[in-house]
Amino acid sequence: MNELHAWLVGDMSPRARVVTALLPALVAMGYFLLGYVAYNIRALIWGVPREYTNETRRSSALVGYHLRFYFFWVINPLWKLVLKSGLSANAVTGIAAGLGLGAALAAGFGRFALAGWLFIFSGILDTMDGRLARARGQESPAGAAIDSILDRYTDSLMLFGLGFYYRDSWVILPVFLALLGTSVTPYVRAKSEALGYPLADGLMQRAERIMYLGGTVALSPIFEALVFPNDPRPVHWVAALGVVFLAVTSNITGISRFASLVRTIKGTRAASNVARDRDRAA
């Protein structure tokens, strides 16, 4: 019972901290690495599974189409389980948001391994709600709105949790910058779509944010336990670097989308003016 209490509050020995962070990492990495090998063999023999084309959207500089196709292929067993479960798309969205809330609370209390894996699993489930709605013919504007809004809450809450943990550290500044970047980036995209100039490109999109932030947070206790085993409140340097990386790349994405939107609007108006002048001259 004492060991369970110690695990819940994070009062663990360096060895226990390494084990609790490393075991899920080894299981996950083993599954995804073996899956990657199997996927490439499958792609060489039978070609790329094109049934995932509608799920991959656009590639980015950090995650290309190959990795996106692989991701949907390797999580296919979980997808089939969700499909057979009878859960509605909104229920899956709610579960994903609940896991995101759990990740935020775990991060705030310094349980970084738990926080990272909950955040990653929340992101994996979030890729399935829209797909589930399409598979069952249940797509609706309300469902899309719920999904999009809860995504924003999930991302923001994770950063709020990290901000609470880092409230007395220099890392609070990149946390705030990451919160700014991850809020502006989807807003610019939504605004561009509302204006009729859809933009979905960028260096750090949501899938990348979940992968890099969740991964660095999940693995950071291993480094801390090995290098700073007696620190009762470690900095979690790997997670801090992940936050800094997210702060820089998310703001670059937001600014580049903003600049691209302005250029597109100006270019369209200029072309329209030229066409109007030509028609008048004719």
% of the chain at pLDDT higher than 90: 30
Give the C-alpha separation, 219 to 242, whole Å. Answer: 11
pLDDT tens sequence across 213-255: 999 999 898 888 788 877 778 889 999 999 999 999 999 988 9
Please give the domain boundaries of the chain with CATH numbers for all domains: 12-281 (1.20.120.1760)
Distance of CA 17 to the CA centre of its chain: 25
Q: Are 134 and 149 in contact (CB under 8 A)?
A: no
Mean pLDDT taken over the chain? 83
Comparison of pLDDT for 10 and 228, the residue scoring more: 228
- What is the full DSSP assignment across 114-130? HHHHHHHHHHHHHHHHH
Residue-level length of the chain:
282
**Is the overall model pTM greater than 0.75, yes or no?**
yes
Q: What tokens were used for 129?
A: 């709600």
Percent of the chain residues past pLDDT 70, beyond the cut: 81
What is the CA 180 to chain-centroid distance, rounded? Answer: 15
| Residue 50 DSSP symbol | G
Q: pLDDT (tens digit, 9 = 90+) per residue, 68-112?
A: 788 888 888 988 899 888 888 889 999 999 999 999 999 999 989
